[in-house]
């Protein structure tokens, strides 16, 4: 038992209650945010000046987008875009591999730090989040 005289099971149950309470509060706040955003959008849409400016901005965006697509059809631009996509894919794959390596490292190492080639110390950190499982994946 720990210093609070709680068993690991009691700690887990308490943590689960905290997690569920926070999740419910986050969901409630997210609903409130959606409602307030809808109210703001209604206020904006009821303004003739805003509607007029919004329509002008949409038209400018449409023209800009069409121009961008035309410019990117140029062979030089097209190869540059392709290179960017390849680099992003490589970066994503390397980050996923690094994450796996860091998990393995944490399992066998007593520390959560690694010294890089320049002598700097890097710390391994995790960000956990709770996501809803879809019904098709539930047992």
pTM above 0.85, yes or no: no
- Answer yes or no: is 3 within a domain: no
Say if 108 falls within a structural domain: yes
Q: Is 70 among the domain residues?
A: yes
Tell me, yes or no, whether 35 lies in a domain: yes
Structural contact between residues 121 and 115, judged by C-beta atoms closer than 8 angstroms = yes
Give the tens place of pLDDT for each residue, 60-110.
999 999 999 999 999 999 999 999 999 999 999 999 999 999 989 988 988
| pLDDT over threshold 70, residue 139 | no
Please give the backbone phi and psi of residue 115, each rounded to the nearest 5 degrees, phi first. Answer: -90, 130
Count up the domains in the chain and report the number.
1
pLDDT at 3 (0 to 100): 54
pLDDT of 123 reads 93
For residue 139, being part of any structural domain is answered with no
| Structure letter (DSSP) for residue 122 | E
Confidence of residue 137 (pLDDT cuts 50, 70, 90): low
Owning domain of residue 55: 8-131
- Would you say 124 and 113 are in contact if contact means Cβ atoms under 8 Å apart? yes
- Helix 48-72 to helix 75-108 angle (10° resolution) is 100
Q: Are 75 and 66 in contact (CB under 8 A)?
A: no
| Position 39 in a domain | yes
In a domain, 32, yes or no: yes
Alpha helices in 46-132 (DSSP H): 48-72, 75-108
pLDDT tens digits for 12-52? 898 889 988 998 999 999 999 999 999 999 999 999 999 99
Give me the mean pLDDT over the 123-135 stretch.
Answer: 85
Q: Is residue 138 part of a domain?
A: no
Per-residue tokens: 48: 């003739």
């Amino acid at each position: 038992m720990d210093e609070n005289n709680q068993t690991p099971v009691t700690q887990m149950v308490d943590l689960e209650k905290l997690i569920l309470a926070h999740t419910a509060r986050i969901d409630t706040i997210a609903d409130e945010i959606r409602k307030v955003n809808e109210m703001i959008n209604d206020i904006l849409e009821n303004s003739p000046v805003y509607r007029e400016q919004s329509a002008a901005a949409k038209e400018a965006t449409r023209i800009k987008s069409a121009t961008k697509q035309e410019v990117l059809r140029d062979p030089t631009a097209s190869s540059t875009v392709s290179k960017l996509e390849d680099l992003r894919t490589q970066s994503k794959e390397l980050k996923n591999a690094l994450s796996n390596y860091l998990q393995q490292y944490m399992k066998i190492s007593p520390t959560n730090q690694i010294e890089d080639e320049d002598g700097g110390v890097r710390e391994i950190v995790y960000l956990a989040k709770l996501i809803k499982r879809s019904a098709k994946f539930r047992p």
